[in-house]
Amino acid sequence: MEIELNPTCERLNMTGSKKKVETYLKKVCILGDPQVGKTSLIRRFVHREFEADYISTIGMEASTKTVDVQGDRSTLRINLVIWDIAGQDSFRNVHASYFSGAEGALLVCDRTRTSTVESLPHWVRRFRSEVGPRPMIVLLNKTDLSMDAGVESKVEDFARSREFEWLQSSALTGDNVDEAFQKLARKLITG
Ligand SMILES: Nc1nc2c(ncn2[C@@H]2O[C@H](COP(=O)(O)OP(=O)(O)O)[C@@H](O)[C@H]2O)c(=O)[nH]1
Ligand SMILES: [Mg+2]
Mutate which of 30, 35, 140, 178 for ligand 1? The one with the most ligand atoms within 8 Å of its CB, which is 35
Q: What CATH number is given for 26-58+81-190 in this structure?
A: 3.40.50.300
Residue 115 CA to residue 145 CA, distance in Å, equals 16
pTM for this model (two decimals): 0.89
Instruction: Give 3-45 pLDDT, tens digit per residue.
Output: 444 444 444 445 545 678 999 999 999 999 999 999 999 999 9
Q: Which residues contact 157 (CB under 8 A, 6 or more apart)?
A: none
Question: Are the C-beta atoms of 41 and 171 separated by less than 8 Å?
Answer: yes
> Is the minimum distance from the CB of 71 to ligand 1 under 6 angstroms?
no
- List the beta bridge partners of residue 81: 27, 64
3-state secondary structure of 110: strand
Q: Which residues contact 99 (CB under 8 A, 6 or more apart)?
A: 29, 126, 127, 130, 131
Q: What's the Cα-to-Cα distance from 89 to each of 85, 98, 141, 160, rounded to whole Å?
A: 7, 12, 18, 27
Instruction: Give 154-171 pLDDT, tens digit per residue.
Output: 999 999 999 999 999 999
> Is the minimum distance from the CB of 37 to ligand 1 under 6 angstroms?
yes
